[in-house]
Amino acid sequence: MMKTSLLRQAAASRVAFAARPVRMPLRASLAIRAAAPVHRPVTSLLRFYSSESAAHESAAPHQELVTRFADLPQLGVHERIVNAITKGMKYENMTDVQTMTVNSALAGKDVVAQAKTGTGKTLAFLVPIVQRIIAQDPELADRRRGKARADDIRAIIISPTRELAEQIGVEAQKLCQGTGVVVQTAVGGTQKHAMLRRTRFEGCHLMVGTPGRIHDLLSDPTTGIDAPRLGALVLDEADRMLDVGFKAELEQILKYLPSREDVPRQTLLYSATLPKNVVGLARQFIDPRNFEFVQTIKSDEVPTHERVPQFIVPCRGFENLAPTLLELIRRDVAKAKSNPDRLPFKAIVFLPTTASVMANSYIFRRLKYSDPTMPKILDIHSKLAQATRTRAAEEFRHSESAILFSSDVSARGMDFPNVTHVIQVHLPQDRDLYIHRIGRTGRAGKQGEAYIMVSDVEIPAARDRLPGLPIQRCTDFENASIDITQESELPPLFKEVQDAAHKAPFELLNDTYASYLGNAIRDVDRQDVVDEINNMAKYTWGMQEPPAVSPRLISQMGRRVSGLRALDGPSLRRGRTIGREFGDRDSYGRGGSRGGGRNFSGDGFDQMERAAREEGRPRYGGRGRGPSANF
C-alpha cells in the first residue's frame, strides 16, 4: 500500500514536470548553454514531456508496475538475473527509481531518470541492460565459454571516474554471475595490454569504463575491440557526462558506434541531479519519440535526504579550519565509542585541491601518532597512481572506522558502506556537487550527517551557492571562533596541528598554498583568498612568512593583490621558511616582529584584514543578492 502511494506521488511528479521551476547553478547553466545551444524552443519540449507522460499514464496504470524483484520474470527478465538479485544480493523490494525505470526500460524505452543518491540507480540500469543482452542472444542465459568475442560488444556504460566505473563493473559482474554475459572494465591508469589480453580471451558483452579509455580502445583499430551491434548505452552521472569537458569526448565515442538508424539502441541516462535542459543536451543520445523522463524527487522537494542533517560551521578564518576539523573528529569519534547505538566513525573529508588533500591527510596521519583514538587516515585524488587510488577506495570500503581525505573523485556515485560523516572543507564548485558529496552518507536507508566548514569570508558565497537546502548553522566548536591574532598562546588544537604540520615536507605545504591561489584565479575577490591563506600558512602551519610562489602565479592573481612573496625574486630569500620558534608568543600575533616591507606580519596587513572583517563588507565572491539560504 505504502509502495503504491509512493509510486503515485512519483508518477504525479512526472506530470508536474512541465510546471516545475528548476533551479540550477548559474555557472553550470552558462557552461552548458555555451557547449550546446538548444535549438528547440523550451516550451515545446515541456509540452512534449506532458503528453509523453500522459500517454504513459493511460497505457500503463501503475498498479501493473512490478515492484518486487521476484516478480520481474513477468516482464520477461531471465530467472538467472532475478536469482542473482534475490539470492545473491538479497534484495527483495525495488526502490522507487528501480520500479519506475526498470518497467519502462524493459519496454524498450529510452530513460532519463533522476533519483536521490543511494537509492539504487546502478541496479536500475543494469537489470534492463543485461536482460536486453540476453534477449538478443538467448543462449547467453547459460554459462558457457568460448562464445564471447571482443569485437561484438552489446552494451556500454560510461562513468565520470575510474573508481565509479570499477564499482559498477563489480555490481554488473554480480548480476551476470549465473549467465554467459561477460563484463569487462575499461579505465585509464591501468595496463591496457593486460586488459586487451583478457578481453580477447574472455570476450566482452558489457563494457563499463571511463570516456578516455573507452575512446582509446574503440578508436585504435589494432585492439580488436568493436561494437557493431551495440544495443544499449548508459551514461551514469548523466549531467556530468553531458557537461563541458566530457561531452566532446562522448561525441567522439559515438563516431565509433553504429548509428541508431542502423542498429536500434537503447540509451539510459541517470543522475541525482539533472539540469532542466538535459533532454536538450542529450538529444544526440536519446530517441525523442520513445523516451521516458522519470523523477522520483518531487518538484518541491529538496534533492537531499531528510535523514541526513546538514550543518554549516562558520570559522573565523582559514587558519581555524584544521583545528576545528580535529575538534569535530575527536568529538564524534568519542560519541560513537560511548554510544553503542551509533555506527563507528567513518568520514569522508572533501577538500578543494589535490594538494590540500595530500597536506591534510599528512597532518592528520601525523596526529594519529600521538592520538590512538584517531581512526585510520586514507586519501584519494587524481594525482595518485591508479593502483594506489584503487587500494585506498577498497580499504575505505572495507574499513569499519576511517577517515578518507578526498578530492571530488569521490563526490559522485561512490558507494562506501556506513559512512557516518561527510565533511566538506570550503565550498564545492556548485550546488549539485554539494548534493552529490553529501550523498556519500545516508545511503540505503542508513543514517548520516553532513558538515560544511567554511571561513566567515566564504559565507556570502555559501548563501549564494547553496540556496534552498536545509542547512543549519552550527556553533558547537570552540576552535571555529577563536581569533588567533588575539591569543597570547596557541590554543591546544592549533598547537597539535602546527606540530604535525612542522613535520610535513616543505613542498607539500608550499604546493598546497600555491594550489589555493590557482584555485582562486577565477574568484571575484582574490585578495581575500590571499589574506586567508597567509593566515593559514602562519597559524595553522606555523610558517614565519608566506611560501614563495612563482612570479607568474602572482601576476595571474592581479597587480592589485598584495601579500604574496615571489619565488626567485631579486632581493628575496627562497627556501624553507618554517621557523623553529613557533609556539613562542612573539613569533605570531600582534606582538610579532615588525620588519616592514614584505615581512609577513609587520606590514599592517593583519590590521587591514581585521578592519575589513569588522566592516562586514561582502567579500569572497558573494553577490550580495540578499539572503537566499537560512544559515
The nearest distance, CB 219 to DNA, in angstroms, is 6
**Residue 408 touches DNA, criterion: CB under 7 A:** yes
Q: Which stretch binds DNA (CB under 7 A): 129-137, 210-218, 284-292, 331-339?
A: 210-218
**Residue 388 touches DNA, criterion: CB under 7 A:** no
Site string for DNA, 156-185 (x = CB under 7 A): ----xxxx----------------------
Beta partners for residue 232, in sequence order: 155, 266
28's CB contacts (< 8 A; 6+ apart) are: 243, 275, 430, 432
**Residue 355 touches DNA, criterion: CB under 7 A:** yes
**CA-CA distance, 282 to 305, in Å (whole number)?**
27
Which of 25, 314, 352, 448 binds DNA (CB under 7 A)? It is 352
* Chain residues 238-297 in contact with DNA, contact rule CB under 7 A: 240, 243, 245-246
Match 556530468 to its residue by C-alpha cell: 240
**Residue 447 touches DNA, criterion: CB under 7 A:** no
Residue 565 CA, distance from chain mean position? 34
**Residue 353 touches DNA, criterion: CB under 7 A:** yes
Q: Which stretch binds DNA (CB under 7 A): 64-72, 402-410, 571-579, 602-610?
A: 402-410
The nearest distance, CB 511 to DNA, in angstroms, is 6
Give 179 or 360: the residue with its C-beta nearer to DNA.
360
- Among the listed residues 478, 273, 493, the one whose alpha carbon sits nearest the alpha carbon of residue 370: 493
Which of 50, 68, 152, 188 binds DNA (CB under 7 A)? It is 188
The nearest distance, CB 213 to DNA, in angstroms, is 4
DSSP type of residue 441: S
**Residue 209 touches DNA, criterion: CB under 7 A:** yes
Give 25 or 280: the residue with its C-beta nearer to DNA.
25
Q: What is the CA radius of gyration of the chain?
A: 26
Task: Return the H-helix or E-strand segment holding 423.
Answer: strand 421-425
Give 89 or 567: the residue with its C-beta nearer to DNA.
567
Q: Output b/e per residue, 185-204; b: 16+ Cβ within 10 A.
A: bbbebbeeeebbebbeeebb
Q: Contact, 276 vs 112, CB < 8 A?
A: no
The nearest distance, CB 432 to DNA, in angstroms, is 9
**Residue 349 touches DNA, criterion: CB under 7 A:** no
Which of 216, 287, 371, 499 binds DNA (CB under 7 A)? It is 216
Q: Which stretch binds DNA (CB under 7 A): 115-123, 154-162, 280-288, 571-579?
A: 154-162
**Residue 523 touches DNA, criterion: CB under 7 A:** no
Amino acid at 87: K
**Residue 196 touches DNA, criterion: CB under 7 A:** no
* Chain residues 7-46 in contact with DNA, contact rule CB under 7 A: none
**Residue 192 touches DNA, criterion: CB under 7 A:** yes
**Residue 519 touches DNA, criterion: CB under 7 A:** yes
Q: Contact, 406 vs 380, CB < 8 A?
A: yes
**Residue 518 touches DNA, criterion: CB under 7 A:** yes
**CA-CA distance, 343 to 450, in Å (whole number)?**
15
Q: Output b/e per residue, 267-292; b: 16+ Cβ within 10 A.
A: bbbbbbbbbbbbbbbbbebbeeeebb
Beta-carbon count within 10 A of 395 CB: 14
The nearest distance, CB 155 to DNA, in angstroms, is 18
The nearest distance, CB 186 to DNA, in angstroms, is 8
Q: Which stretch binds DNA (CB under 7 A): 268-276, 312-320, 379-387, 443-451?
A: 379-387
Give 141 or 351: the residue with its C-beta nearer to DNA.
351
Q: What is the DSSP string of 205-255?
A: SEEEE-HHHHHHHHH-GGG----TT--EEEEETHHHHTSTTTHHHHHHHHH
Going from the C-alpha of 415 to that of each of 54, 117, 317, 442, 511, the distances in angstroms are 35, 10, 33, 10, 30
**Residue 565 touches DNA, criterion: CB under 7 A:** no
Give 103 or 410: the residue with its C-beta nearer to DNA.
410
Give 407 or 420: the residue with its C-beta nearer to DNA.
407
The nearest distance, CB 274 to DNA, in angstroms, is 15
- Among the listed residues 352, 302, 605, the one whose alpha carbon sits nearest the alpha carbon of residue 454: 352
Q: Which stretch binds DNA (CB under 7 A): 72-80, 206-214, 287-295, 452-460?
A: 206-214
Q: Output b/e per residue, 439-476; b: 16+ Cβ within 10 A.
A: bbbbbeebebbbbbbbbbbbbbbbbbbbbebebeebee
Total binding residues toward DNA, as defined by CB under 7 A: 47
Give 77 or 218: the residue with its C-beta nearer to DNA.
218
**CA-CA distance, 468 to 301, in Å (whole number)?**
10
Residues forming contacts to DNA in the complex (CB under 7 A) are 160-163, 187-190, 192, 209-216, 219, 240, 243, 245-246, 352-355, 381-383, 407-409, 411, 429, 433, 511, 514-515, 517-519, 521-522, 550, 552-553, 556
